[in-house]
Structures are given as C-alpha cells and as structure tokens.
Chain A
C-alpha cells in the first residue's frame, strides 16, 4: 500500500473513530498531560527569559564586589583608572519608626550613579503609575516601597526616624532592578542616600551589613579589571559577574522548575493510565476490522502502520490543544507566584517549552498506548470465521515495560539528576503499590456488605468487586488526586498548628540585635524595669571559618548546598562561662573556670556533622582581619525550635574580648505591650528589633502562595483522575448497557438502575476518599514524627472531607458519565449483547 493512501486511510479512520468516543477520552488524557507540563514550562520560561534579558540589570551593574566590611579603597581607585563607572551601596536591616508605628526594613543606602544598569521606578502615590528615574534620594529624603508605607501608615511627605536620623518620605519606590536579598525577601525596602548613613549611627563595628561596589563599562576593560582584582580579594570579599548574577534567584528558579515539573508529572502518569485504558478498548473494538483487513491481504506491518499513523495524528491534535490550554493555565500560575520573584514586569513566554511539552505527550502516548496497538498486529485473519479467536496474550514485559520506561524517561528528564529521579521513581512506584494494595483490600472487603443491602446497592457493589482490577485502578487514580489536595490543605495546616503548639506559650517572639557594648547595661536595665528581668544578653562576634585541622575550608569541597551556604557566610561566635539550660554536651566536656582565656570552642553537633568537624580538631576563624585557632572541646545539641538565642560556636570567656562585638537577646512580649518596642528604639536607635511574629506571618504568607501554586498544578492531577474514571466508565459501557437491559427486562424501574449506578460510583468515590485520607494521614504522621519531631494526632476532618469529597464528587461524575445506559430500549441492548 502506498504511503499516501495509507495516510488517507489513517485520516479517515481518525475521523470515524473520533465519533465513537474512546479516542476522545484518549485525547482528553493527552491534553491534560501536555497542558500540565506546558503550564509549568511556560511559567518558568517567562522568569528565565526575564532573567536572561536583564541579567545585568538584576545585578544593577556588570560586576559587583560585595563584602561585610568596607570594600578596599584601592579597588575603587583602580576602577577609576580603568575608566569604569562605579557606584557604592550599603545595605542593612533596621527598625524604622513613624509616630507610634514601627517596622523592620531592609535599608539600602546608595551613592551617586546607582544603579549602573537598569533603572529605578518611582511613584508619587502608592499604587499610582510609576515613572523611570535617573535620580537617587537626595540627602534627608528616603524612598519607601508600598509595603513599608502601609505598615508605618505613612503617606508621601511624611516623616520617619531611622536610628538617630530623621527623614522625609519623598517618593514611593516601585521597582529596583537589583532588589537584593533572598528570592522571597522578608522585610520591606527603604532606599536612602549613602551620605546620610553616618547621621543614623546605625552602622557600628560588628553590625551585619553588606557593602557593595558596583562597576560597569566596556567589556574588555571589565575583563582586565576582573583579573586584576581577583588576586587581591580578601577572604570576605566576593566577586559577582553577570554570569553568576543572583545565584540565589537562579537556584530558586531551578528548584521551582524541578518541583513544579515533578508535580506536573504526577498528572502525566495518571493521564497515562487513562490512555492505557482507552487504548485497550480502542484496540479491542478494532479486532474485527483488523481481522477483515488481514483477510483481504493487509500485512501485519500495514495494519500497525495504519494505527500508528492514526494515533500520531491524534497526538498532534491533542498535543497542540494541550499546549494552548497550558499557555492559558500558565497565566494563573503567574498571577499566584510572579511578584514573589523580583524580576519586574514579566515578558511573554517564549515558545521554548512547546517541544518538551509535545514530546512529553508523545512519550506518554507511546508508553501507555502502544502495547494494545502492537497486539492488533497479531489478530488472526481466521477471526472472520471464528469470532472467539483473538490475538495471543501479551507477555507482561511487553504490556507494562513501555509504560515503566516512559515514566522513568520523563522523570529523569524532568528531575535532571539521576539520584533525584531514582528517589522520585521509587516514591511514585512505592506509593502506587501501597495505594494499590490498600485499594484492592477495600474493594474485596465490599463483598461482606453485599448480603446486607438492597438490590440496587448489591448490584452496584457487585460491579465494583467483579471489575476488581479496574476498580482498583480507579480508586488509586482518584485517591491520589484527592490525597494530594488533602495533604496540601488540611495536613499542611495540621502540621503547622501542631508544630506551633509544641512551642511554649512564652517562647521568645522578639529579638534585639546590634546592641553596642556601651548599651548593654542600659538595655538590660530597661528590660529589667519593665518586668523582663530574666532576659539574658549574649555577646556576638562575627568570624569566618577558614580551616579545619589545617585543611582550608572551601565551599566547593562540600556537596551539600546547606554546608556550602554555611561556610560562605560569617558565623556568629559567642562566649559564655556556663551552658544554656536547653543545651546538652554530647561529646567532650564543657569548660571549667580554669579554662577561661584558653583557645577552646564548643560546636553544635549538627553543624559539626555537616562540616566534618570532630572533637579535638583545631578550627581556625578569621575575625576582623585576624586569624585565631581553637580546639574543639565539646559538641553540643541545641533546641533550635525554642526561639531562644543559640550559637553554633561558643568560646570560653576572655578569648574574644578584644574583638568588636555586639550583643543579642530574645524575650517574650504580649501583643498588648508592643508599644514598649517603640520606646526602646527611641532610647537605643541603633538596636534592631526583630519581630518573630511578623516574620513568621511573612514566611507563612510566602508558603501559602507556594502551596497555592502547587495546588494549582495538582488540579491537573485531579482532572487526570477524572479522565481515568471516564476511561473506565467507557471501557465498561457495553457491559453496563447489557446489564441495565437485563435489569429492566426483569422489571427494574429506571430509578433502581440509577440507584445502582450511584451506589457503584459513590462507593468507588468513598473508597478513593478514604484511601486518600489514609495516605494523607500516614504522610502527615511521618512528616510530624520524623521531620518536625512532634506527635501527630490524626485529623478526623481529613477522613470526613476526603470521604465526603470522593463520595459526592465521584458519585456525581460517575452518574453523569454512565447515565446514558438508560437511553437505549432494552431490546436493542439485548440484541447487541448476544
């Protein structure tokens, strides 16, 4: 047969089969699979495009030198000599006061020229249209973002106090290209002039600040400068170029991409199950026509090619629809997440995600849909005479192999990392197996009920039991969808509430940091006078870990990203003569009075493990430009959950006295007494108050949004679960027609048949819901006991909601899908059933 005529034949077959239904289910499954992948793809692509287009802008420069200490003077001079543009910034956190209101702000003080790349945008009113500006705040003026204005209940023109300085709010800061900090920065922004910093008296030795020298200019000159400066950096100075601009943003994007991508794969796998069911029925219904084709001389290859062409045509149509749907759905994700990523206005997505999404569709279709089609090849032509003849049974490897291979391939691709892929694959297979076994148990246990219910219910239950495997697949597919949503809503709240309940009611909810040595006595007295007598102040010296037992410490030596981050930063070092109440020494011993002044340290056990520090190792710190060696005298455990001040590394007294130190403390303050904080900041302007409640509120808000995004992606999972339900309903539609005909022949009213359908689907839904609740409970339990370390009490609501949602949702959906069995007169069904 010529290729053109084969193509024509396939096209005609596609048109004919489309009308008959099972291809529609197949297409729906495919559309959902492609759409879920495309939605995530388009969304992350938009952020990626934004980052690529604006990488210089995101840095505010072409090259940046960042340091917790003032950047070396010679660097600026060399930049001037090399004809590069330069600008300086300084950022720190501080409390801002406006009348009775106070808020923690991320302060950025900027010098002339800032930003060297990109532009600031400002407005005259909050939420008014913003304009580009070349200027920076004039001395005495500050620009606040909308959030800070809101918290301080300030308007443009209002006054605020920052440290010992007083400023006028001149503009609303709408956009800054190099919005620093984390992807999800916690505190709102205050932009001020660098010249005003001394007047605030906020920057003292030992304060946590970041100095940045921004540089920009001709690429060649920049390259020269880079090689000149590289060898002259001190250990705390870091160089950031355009290529490594905003590594935290890149890392967050990559993580989001992976995570949302894997979430989308759950829908793809479920859709695959729907495809498998629909393809099986599709093939089954073509046994007769294949037998006839073979009979009149079509070869096995021709038959196979014909059906492959038909399916590929379908895949193309469904794929394109899926991509379009995904493009639309992406908009929703963007609404939820975009303003968490500080990259400004998002460009429209590129078409880069198109190919991966389509390819995902093809791989899923081939993996799950191919086996029954391959079997068509083997339909014996003799079937035209003996209708009971079918193709030989397929071996299990041929039946399931392609699907497993497809899932593995997609996972590997999406996770981009073999180990992660393996974990997720194991997790998926394990979860599916566990759910499958549980579902089968539930299905089997229905038999017990059968003797005790009326005719319609018995018939419905009997149907579930008889289609055991099919029922199990449906229960698992629907259960998985419901479970994911339960975990993301109820279980998440339970965990958060459970964890918060483990905190003592009077757990510290405020930290005071940046207390200067001269202020220690005064602050202590202040707190003491106001009934916070037991509050203890701890000294804090900042130092960088340089070496462990003579081996230089280098972030690249650690595989684990947490360890990398730990050694990249400066540590807060402290000293104490006695051990804090909730600390326990687990190795070595705590120092005696005789040890004071000796170069010893006590290290937190978790940190020691992470960085490979052992008891009696010598650790070297660089503090204020000097190196100091100390022996690890003990390892401690710390209750981090307590919100009390704790340190990774503690020295004995009389070792760090000569270094610049600030003091820190934490205490509990009732909401009603928050006014005390304003009073404190007025008396001690350079002290920074961190409100843990507000911080937790912000963290929770971010978490809520991320969860919302994940829920959004998992909506596709629920849809895919419904497609599995419809595929299964359709696969059993002939049986159902026949059975409903017999029931009616025997005198059943329509109501009885509807009731039996309802019984079947409501029960399936209930089982799925209960399974989901079970899965969610187990997951909640494991997370609580293993990860968060508190006792998890199962939530009754989980079972009510899961069971109820399954019962009603699946009951209604199933009834809707299957009710057409009532349309045909019984005679016709009986005639066809014979």
Chain B
C-alpha cells in the first residue's frame, strides 16, 4: 500500500478521556482516508466527536489508540515540534470562532503562518491574498475592529496564504448569519478550487456538506456507513461519492 496517495488517513483511531464516571470514549475505531484534491465533509450531531476528530487529524492532540497519517507521515512518530512543522508547511485552518490573534493586525495575522513556514516574502504574499478577498483597505485593522464576516475572511486568507495542500475547517459559518455564511462558503470553495487543495470540513449543516465531494457521518464517536477504503483506487472512490 502506498500511503502517499492519501493525504490523510486514519487507522483505528480512538480517543478516550478519564472522567468522574469512568473512562469516556469520545472516538472509537475510526478508519477512513482522504485522497489528494478531494473535499470531505464530516457531519454529525453536536457532541458526536467531530471537533475531536479534526484535532487528531491535524495533530493538535494525541490519540489514545490508532494512528493518523498526514502526507505520508505517521503523526505518532513526530513530536510536538515535528507536527507543528508539518502543519506550517502543508496545513491551513478555519475555525468557527475565527481564532485570530487579537494583538496582531489583519495583515500580521495573515503573515503569521507564512513567517512560520519561512516564506520569502510574507508581507507581499499576505497583502496579495487580502487584496484578493477584498480586505485590501483593512490591513492595519485589529480583529476587534472587524465584523464577524470580515474576521472570518481574514481567517480564510490566513489559511490559504501559504498555499497549503490540506485545509481543515471546523464549522466555518457557525457564528455567522445565513447570507454572510453563504459568502464565506463561496469564498472557501472558490479558493480551494483555485489552489487545488484538499479540504476536510466539519459541519452539522447538511446543506453545506453537499458542496463537498463526499460526507462522513459521525455518531457517538463512530463512523456511520463507513466507506470502504480501497487502497487500489482512492481517487476514483472519492469522486464516486460526490454529490
């Protein structure tokens, strides 16, 4: 099996945390793979473990069992810094609550991942992306001076600025009204197409999930209707489940 054909692969992934009533199983026996260029929605009810899964896939937390392969690397074989470096080079993020750094301006926020990845011209690249999404006049503004929609656009600019192969998004429209949410979705998908990135999108909005090539449903920490993952034809398999 050639793992590099999948950009992301989860193998028997599980997460358990201790709780006063004994061990709490958040995720259990998760198996799936995402091929390069694919867009996948992870859907499920609140509390089903979507965010937890995303965190594990991105190496923000360590699993209790199983492993995650990211761009051909087993995350378990890396330490904190190794995982960070991997993210800096290949991964972008968009969150429900934007997660911009309040002390930095819009421009500085977008420059951040570029600088962490040792980009040659962080400022120029960041300016260009911000221009592109129509925030060229708000470069020196701080997050608190921007509306929710504008903040999410800055976050998207930050996610795409370094040209990541892989983009993780957790409820990117959850905190926005319908119309603004729609604009954000359009922006997200058009940038994604343009850059040919792989997208893993967490949402409980089935409407939104339809924009993706396929959906995975989490229920009580397990994947429902688990997709058969064939090592032979990952790309075709991905496309075959498209809407």
Known: A744-B84, A748-B84, A825-B60. A458 touches B108 (CB 8 A): yes
In the assembled complex, B51 has its CB within 8 A of some CB on chain A: yes
Question: Which of chain A's residues 781-834 have a Cβ closer than 8 Å to chain B?
Answer: 825-828, 830-831, 833-834
In the assembled complex, A300 has its CB within 8 A of some CB on chain B: no
Q: Which of B96-104, B192-200, B221-229, B234-242 contacts A (4 or more CB under 8 A)?
A: B96-104
Q: Are A454 and B115 in contact (CB under 8 A)?
A: yes
Q: Are A455 and B115 in contact (CB under 8 A)?
A: yes
Q: Which residues of A contact B80 (CB under 8 A)?
A: 744, 750
CB closest chain-A residue, reference B55: A827
Known: A826-B61, A827-B61, A834-B96. A747 touches B116 (CB 8 A): yes
Q: Which residues of B contact A828 (CB under 8 A)?
A: 61
Q: Are A463 and B103 in contact (CB under 8 A)?
A: yes
Q: Are A742 and B103 in contact (CB under 8 A)?
A: no
B148 CB → nearest A CB, Å: 14
Known: A455-B112, A463-B103. A747 touches B91 (CB 8 A): yes
**What CA separation (Å) do A750 and B82 show in the bound complex?**
10
Task: Please pick, from B55, B88, B122, the residue contacting A747 in the complex, using a CB distance under 8 A.
Answer: B88
Q: Which residues of B contact A458 (CB under 8 A)?
A: 104, 108
Q: Which residues of A contact B51 (CB under 8 A)?
A: 831
Q: Are A747 and B103 in contact (CB under 8 A)?
A: no
Q: What number of A-B contacts does a CB cutoff of 8 Å give?
A: 85
Interface string of B118-136 (1 = CB under 8 A from A): 0000100000000000000
Interface string of A452-472 (1 = CB under 8 A from B): 001100110011011100000
CB closest chain-B residue, reference A744: B84
**What CA separation (Å) do A750 and B85 show in the bound complex?**
10
**What CA separation (Å) do A830 and B122 show in the bound complex?**
25
**What CA separation (Å) do A742 and B93 show in the bound complex?**
10
Q: Which residues of A contact B86 (CB under 8 A)?
A: 747
Q: Are B60 and A826 in contact (CB under 8 A)?
A: yes
In the assembled complex, A743 has its CB within 8 A of some CB on chain B: yes
Q: Are B81 and A459 in contact (CB under 8 A)?
A: no
**What CA separation (Å) do A374 and B112 show in the bound complex?**
41
Known: A825-B62, A830-B60. A746 touches B87 (CB 8 A): yes
**What CA separation (Å) do A749 and B112 show in the bound complex?**
13
A648 CB → nearest B CB, Å: 66
Q: Are A747 and B85 in contact (CB under 8 A)?
A: yes
Q: Which residues of B contact A467 (CB under 8 A)?
A: 103
**What CA separation (Å) do A465 and B104 show in the bound complex?**
10
Q: Are B112 and A751 in contact (CB under 8 A)?
A: no
B157 CB → nearest A CB, Å: 13
Task: Please pick, from A455, A466, A748, A834, the residue contacting B97 in the complex, using a CB distance under 8 A.
Answer: A834
Q: Are A747 and B60 in contact (CB under 8 A)?
A: no
Q: Are B103 and A746 in contact (CB under 8 A)?
A: no
In the assembled complex, B48 has its CB within 8 A of some CB on chain A: no
Task: Please pick, from A462, A747, A831, A834, the residue contacting B104 in the complex, using a CB distance under 8 A.
Answer: A462
Interface centre among B87, B101, B122 (most CB of A within 10 A): B101
Interface centre among B62, B85, B87, B116 (most CB of A within 10 A): B116
B214 CB → nearest A CB, Å: 25
In the assembled complex, B113 has its CB within 8 A of some CB on chain A: yes
CB closest chain-B residue, reference A829: B60
In the assembled complex, B58 has its CB within 8 A of some CB on chain A: yes
Interface centre among A741, A825, A830 (most CB of B within 10 A): A830
B61 CB → nearest A CB, Å: 4
Q: Are A739 and B81 in contact (CB under 8 A)?
A: no
A203 CB → nearest B CB, Å: 80
Q: Are A459 and B60 in contact (CB under 8 A)?
A: no
**What CA separation (Å) do A745 and B80 show in the bound complex?**
11
A sample of 17 cross-chain residue pairs with beta-carbon separation below 8 angstroms, ordered by A number, consists of A455-B115, A459-B103, A459-B104, A462-B103, A741-B60, A744-B60, A745-B58, A746-B93, A746-B112, A746-B116, A747-B86, A747-B91, A749-B81, A825-B61, A827-B52, A827-B60, A831-B51
Q: What residues make up the interface of B, taking CB atoms closer than 8 Å to A? A: 51-52, 55, 58, 60-62, 80-81, 84-89, 91, 93, 95-97, 99, 101-104, 108, 111-113, 115-117, 122, 158
The 10 closest A-B pairs by CB, nearest first: A747-B88, A455-B115, A466-B103, A827-B61, A747-B87, A827-B55, A462-B103, A827-B60, A749-B81, A746-B113
Q: What residues make up the interface of A, taking CB atoms closer than 8 Å to B? A: 450, 454-455, 458-459, 462-463, 465-467, 735, 739, 741-752, 825-828, 830-831, 833-834
Query: Known contacts A743-B101, A747-B87, A750-B80; can you find 8 more A-B pairs with CB under 8 A?
Result: A455-B111, A455-B112, A742-B101, A746-B158, A747-B84, A749-B81, A830-B60, A834-B97
